[in-house]
């Protein structure tokens, strides 16, 4: 079983995964998906292509077992599966998303996770909100961004669910989620954007932690959201935003010699605040019971 022994040990288990859950995007996304900046229009066909490429990488390139949930037109944001659950080891916390229009997204996810035999914990408290995009798990501890989408109560429930780990809160002001400007790029490596808000949040995290993380600072906040995976046959794998999108940030990633780097473009979903981590949930099933 995946006790602390395997997955917690000096964050060695970070990024280990066997399964991924994704969800196809509904056409309603183009018009109805929530977004911070209303100007840009989503090219649905292109968005779909990008997403298929993304899923393809997980499936064929990395060999993960990918559960693809069908889209739901009544849930325009349903492609962003990360927000509706936080999975750590054998336990999945089904969140209560901050945006009321997204609350129903959890249902399909819950069924999917149940099928994987995870211990399911549901956030039922009506005062709690939590988006998975605000949850940064470093392998040693959790940081939860307190944002428009996530509140203190939601963070408390997360702490109750994952009792082994310290859960520290980080105020998030200028962006949608905590992970809008940061993510894990390696077992002890935090990728962080260069904006003032991002750097401030990093400072907070550093102060709160008993551990010292290395940081990888990239010029663009959005590019700091990358996906680190540790795949048995591949080693360190890093999915990051494509050089066409963020050339300067891509150069920074390219300096990571130990990582297998996979650039992925996400131009269309980015228009509705989608980042790389938003579109998948990773699960590590070490034993099929």
Partner 1 sequence: MTTEIGSETEVKKESEQLEANTAQEGTEEATESQIQPDLDNPVSEKVQSSPSSQAPVSQSSPTSHKKEKEPSEGKGISRFIPPWLKKQKSYTVAGPKDEAKKREQTSTGEECATEVGEHPLPEAAAESKGNLEEATQNQQEVKADDQEEKHSVSSAETQPAKEDSKDIEVEKVSEEKEEKEEKGEEGEKRETKEVQTTDLKMEKVSQKTPKKIKTLPCKVMLLDGTEYSYDLEKRAKGQVLFDKVCEQLNLLEKDYFGLVLQENSEQKSWLDPAKEIKRQIRNLPWLFTFNVKFYPPDPSQLTEDITRYFLCLQLRQDIASGHLPCSFVTHSLLGSYTLQAELGDYDPEEHNNDYISEFQFAPNQTKEMEEKVVELHKTHRGLTPAQADSQFLENAKRLSMYGVDLHHAKDSEGVDIMLGVCANGLLIYKDRLRINRFAWPKILKISYKRSNFYIKVRPTEQEQFESTIGFKLPNHRAAKRLWKVCVEHHTFYRLVSPEQPLKATFLTLGSKFRYSGRTQAQTRQASSLIDRPAPYFERTSSKRISRSLDGAPVGITKSDQSLLKDFAVTVGPAGDKIYDSEIGGHGKLKDGDGRDEDGSLTKTPQLELTQDGKPPVVKTEMVTISDATKRTEISTKEVPIVQTETKTITYESPQFDGSAGGDAGVLLSAQTITSESVSTTTTTHITKTVKGGVSETRIEKRIVITGDADIDHDQALAQAIKEAKEQHPDMSVTRVVVHKETELAEEDE
Is 102 flagged in the annotation as binding? yes
Enumerate binding residues for partner 1 (CB under 8 A). Answer: 1-5, 8-10, 89-91, 119, 140-141, 144, 152, 155-156, 159-160, 162-169, 203, 206-212
The residue from 177, 236, 240, 259 that is catalytic is: 177
State which residue, 56 or 171, has the beta carbon closest to partner 1.
Answer: 171
Kindly state the smallest distance separating residue 278's Cβ from partner 1, in Å.
24
State which residue, 5 or 124, has the beta carbon closest to partner 1.
Answer: 5
User: In degrees rounded to 5, what are phi and psi of residue 213?
Assistant: -100, 150
Is 77 flagged in the annotation as binding? yes
Pairing of strands 189-192, 214-217: parallel
Is 170 flagged in the annotation as binding? no
User: In degrees rounded to 5, what are phi and psi of residue 105?
Assistant: -60, -25
Assess contact for 139 and 11: CB atoms under 8 A.
Answer: yes
CA distance 32 to 266: 18
Kindly state the smallest distance separating residue 155's Cβ from partner 1, in Å.
5
State which residue, 146 or 237, has the beta carbon closest to partner 1.
Answer: 146
Half-sphere exposure of 288 (CA within 13 A, CB side): 4
Kindly state the smallest distance separating residue 221's Cβ from partner 1, in Å.
21
State which residue, 161 or 280, has the beta carbon closest to partner 1.
Answer: 161
Query: Dihedral of the CA atoms 256, 262, 265, 269 (nearest 10)?
Result: -100
177 in catalytic set: yes
Is 272 flagged in the annotation as binding? yes
Q: Which ranges of 34-189 does DSSP label H, i.e. alpha helix?
A: 44-56, 105-115, 152-161
Catalytic positions: 177, 278
């Amino acid at each position: 079983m995946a006790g602390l022994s395997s997955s917690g040990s000096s964050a060695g288990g970070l990024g280990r995964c066997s399964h991924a859950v994704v969800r196809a995007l509904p056409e309603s996304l183009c018009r109805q998906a929530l977004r911070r900046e209303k100007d840009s229009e989503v090219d649905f066909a292109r968005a779909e292509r990008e997403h298929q490429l993304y899923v393809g990488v997980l499936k064929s390139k990395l060999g993960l077992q990918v559960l693809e949930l069908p889209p739901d037109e009544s849930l325009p944001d349903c492609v962003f599966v990360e927000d509706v659950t936080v999975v750590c080891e054998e336990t999945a916390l089904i969140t209560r998303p901050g945006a009321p229009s997204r609350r129903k997204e959890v249902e399909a996810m819950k069924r999917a996770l149940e099928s994987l035999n995870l211990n399911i914990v549901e956030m039922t408290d009506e005062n709690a909100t939590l988006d998975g995009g605000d949850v940064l798990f470093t392998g040693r501890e959790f940081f939860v961004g307190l944002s428009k989408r996530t509140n203190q109560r939601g963070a408390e429930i997360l702490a109750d669910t994952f009792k082994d780990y310290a859960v520290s809160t980080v105020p998030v002001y200028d962006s949608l989620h905590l992970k809008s400007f940061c993510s894990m790029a390696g077992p002890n490596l935090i990728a962080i954007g260069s904006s003032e808000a991002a750097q401030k949040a990093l400072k907070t995290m550093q102060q709160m932690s008993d551990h010292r993380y290395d940081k990888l600072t990239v010029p663009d906040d959005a590019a700091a959201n990358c996906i680190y995976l540790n795949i048995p046959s591949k080693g360190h794998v890093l999915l990051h935003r494509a050089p066409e999108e963020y050339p300067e940030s891509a150069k920074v990633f390219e300096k990571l010699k130990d990582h297998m780097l996979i650039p992925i473009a996400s131009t269309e979903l980015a228009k509705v605040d989608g980042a790389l981590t938003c579109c998948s949930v990773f699960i590590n099933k070490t034993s099929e019971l």
